[in-house]
Amino acid sequence: MMNKRETEELIERYCMGQLSPEELRIFEEWRESDSDLSQAIDDHRLITDAFLVYAERSDLKKKLGKIHDEMESDQYRFQAPMKVIIPRENRVKLIWRKYKLASIAAVLSLVAISASIITFSVNGVSGNKQQSAYQELRREVERIKRSQKALIKDINNKQESTVIAEGAFTGSGFALNKEGYVLTSYHVVADASSIYISNEKFAQLKMKVIYTNPELDMAVLKVDDKDFIGFKEIPYTMRKSVADPGEKVYTLGYPREDMVFGEGSVSSYTGFEGDTAAYQISIPVNPGNSGGPLFDSQGNLIGIVSGRNSSAEGASFAVKSKWISEDIKEHSAEKISMPMKKTSLGSDRAVQVKKVKDFVFMVKVMN
Amino acid sequence: MGMKPVQGITEEEQIRLLQNGDENILQIIYRQYYQTIVQLVMNNSGSLQEAKDIYQETLIIFYEKVKDENFELNCKLKTYLYSISRNLWLKQLQHKKRFTNNISDSEEYLEIPWEDAGKKEDQYQAMHTALESLGEPCRSILKDFYLHSQSMEEITEKFGYTNADNAKNQKYKCLKRLKKIFFDSYGNDGGLSYDE
């Protein structure tokens, strides 16, 4: 009689198809007459199968984990906090290298801070004034160029390859209606080859441009995905009356990869250089805030953040929602309904933000 | 049916590529349907992390099914994946008793019993636990023999046994222990090792 180990070896060779015809014949006869053996064979098969399944799944899980991480880091790259408007001819290549992140981040923040751009709503701005704003900008850009050259040199000295990415910009935007229309600043999406929006709720939605008005610095986008089923009911309404100086206001936007709340008040009925289509507001905004919604204390939409004054600290501008809705109504080929929620959001700001945040997006643009 | 092109290739082609072990197609598919499943789970009281887990589990089940040569996709890939995820999430919700059986759907889905869907994951978990508690050198010996198809001679040498018979004996003991731990936690009705 065989011992256990020999029997197990025989079972194994049987399962692996290694028995000789003679052995096989005897083994099968034995198997039919012995239910314990039959059970042992089934167990052996089950455990070796489970072992294989385990190995395959482990492998696959690793792969999927990697795919997911890559997807997220791509999105992160997309979301990198930089939106800088630079005249075409001065546009500099931006260098991205993960392992040089610290120094790059330093350069990028220099870009973000010093390139004070910041687009102005052009209505009523004289050509001269605009010129001077841009001159100042160019000077700043020269400085950045030098820093970047230094960085490139540093990288070159180490003889490592560099990845140069051109034209990844981000801004903010918000939903206008359930059908997937989103409002953002024109300068955020100008020259875009592809546009995506994202927030906590939506990882990535492809957008197309429906209507723009550069003078009001506004653009209407629409979700470009035939599987998109629509947003939920828009929780805010567009306020018809003009906001007065002193009114408390706030904005939500994406100056970085997470949504940031910023508050202040209306400083003036008019925007940059007396622009009547915009308010001046006292919210400190950063590149990336452009296109974000401006809400009053009741959570009503009163404007869209469009830029700031590079020479005056804390002076930002928002285009009045009334101008935007009237312009869209008058000039857009597509009928685009404005947010008109009847019920109030209440006066608790934290509650308002909670209700509204899913409708505010980061707008990511590739040129 | 199934003709929706993703990055220029039809769903049939995607599945063929997947069957042929094309690595890139998995990434394309992953990115294509991620959002749909995130919406499904998050609209039904799940977190983003749970959505990610459900989605990856869905793709594993899908991948294992596709590996079967007889696999045929009779609906849109999106519907298929959505249906798997839906079942997995429903099962998890019931398990957690978060709520009973009402899922708010954003997609069409198929009412198909995914009888072995959860079973394989249970098997995977049982094997994972078993291998963890099995320890070394058993784990490596079994992996080398059953997964990497190494011969007993190679294993003898690698693990420094004086002869192949010692190695065989060690492997036998390892497998016996693995069977015991695995069947204990997997709760199989079998689990008899052969006794004379």
ipTM of the complex: 0.81
Question: For the ranges A125-134, A161-170, A248-257, B93-102, which has the lowest average pLDDT?
Answer: A125-134
Check whether A87 has a pLDDT greater than 50. Answer: no
What pLDDT shows up at residue A75?
60
CATH of the domain at B26: 1.10.1740
Claim to verify: residue B81 and residue B133 sit in the same structural domain:
no
Helix residue spans in chain A (DSSP H): 4-15, 21-33, 35-79, 101-114, 127-157, 186-189, 321-331, 349-356
Claim to verify: residue B137 and residue B181 sit in the same structural domain:
yes
**Domains held by chain B: number:** 2
For A140, the domain range is: 88-165
Average pLDDT over residues B76-83: 89
**B108 falls within a domain:** no
What pLDDT shows up at residue A367?
66
Check whether B69 has a pLDDT greater than 50. Answer: yes
Instruction: Return d(Cα B141, Cα A222) in angstroms, integer.
Output: 58
Average pLDDT over residues B169-182: 88
**B102 falls within a domain:** no
**Cβ of B193 and A43 within 8 Å?**
yes
Average pLDDT over residues A206-231: 88
Mean pLDDT of chain A: 74
**A199 falls within a domain:** no
The residues near A253 (Cβ < 8 Å, ≥ 6 apart) are A172, A259, A260, A262, A285, A288, A289, A290, A291, A292, A305, A360
**B174 falls within a domain:** yes
**Cα-flanking dihedrals φ and ψ of residue A113, to 5°?**
-80, -50
Q: How far is CA A34 from CA A2, A29, A37, A135, in A?
A: 14, 9, 5, 94
**B5 falls within a domain:** no
Residues of A near B (Cβ–Cβ under 8 Å) read 1-5, 7-9, 11, 36-37, 39-40, 42-43, 46-48, 50-57, 60-61, 63-65, 67-68, 70-71, 200-205, 227, 229
Claim to verify: residue A52 and residue A116 sit in the same structural domain:
no
pLDDT tier, B187 (very low <50, low <70, confident <90, very high otherwise): low
Q: Which residue has the higher pLDDT, A352 or A257?
A: A352
Chain A residues closer than 8 Å to B35 by CB: 202-205
Pick the last residue of a domain from B96, B127, B149: B96
Q: Which residue has the higher pLDDT, A71 or A244?
A: A244
Pick the last residue of a domain from A124, A147, A165: A165
For B28, the domain range is: 11-96
Q: Could you report the per-residue pLDDT of A341-355, keeping only the tens digit for each?
A: 777 788 888 889 999
Residue in B closest to A3 by C-alpha: B196
Q: Could you report the per-residue pLDDT of A137-162, keeping only the tens digit for each?
A: 222 223 334 334 434 444 444 433 33
**A330 falls within a domain:** no
Check whether A85 has a pLDDT greater than 50. Answer: no
* CA distance to partner chain B, nearest, from residue A357 (Å): 15
Claim to verify: residue B149 and residue B89 sit in the same structural domain:
no
Check whether A357 has a pLDDT greater than 90. Answer: yes
pLDDT tier, B99 (very low <50, low <70, confident <90, very high otherwise): low
**Cβ of A54 and B124 within 8 Å?**
yes
Token readout for A283 is 């919210």
**Cβ of B194 and A68 within 8 Å?**
no
What pLDDT shows up at residue A42?
86
**How many CA atoms within 13 Å lie on the side-chain side of A87?**
14
* CA distance to partner chain A, nearest, from residue B185 (Å): 13
Check whether B22 has a pLDDT greater than 50. Answer: yes
| Omega prior to A214 cis, within 30 of 0 | no
Question: For the ranges A55-64, A159-168, A308-317, A341-350, which has the lowest average pLDDT?
Answer: A159-168
Share of residues in chain B with pLDDT > 70 (%) = 84
Average pLDDT over residues A233-245: 90
* CA distance to partner chain B, nearest, from residue A171 (Å): 21
- Enter the pTM of the model: 0.46
Nearest to B31 among A1, A71, A227 (CB): A71
Chain A residues closer than 8 Å to B46 by CB: none
Claim to verify: residue B160 and residue B85 sit in the same structural domain:
no
* CA distance to partner chain B, nearest, from residue A1 (Å): 9
Claim to verify: residue A161 and residue A107 sit in the same structural domain:
yes
Claim to verify: residue A35 and residue A94 sit in the same structural domain:
no
**Cβ of B196 and A204 within 8 Å?**
no
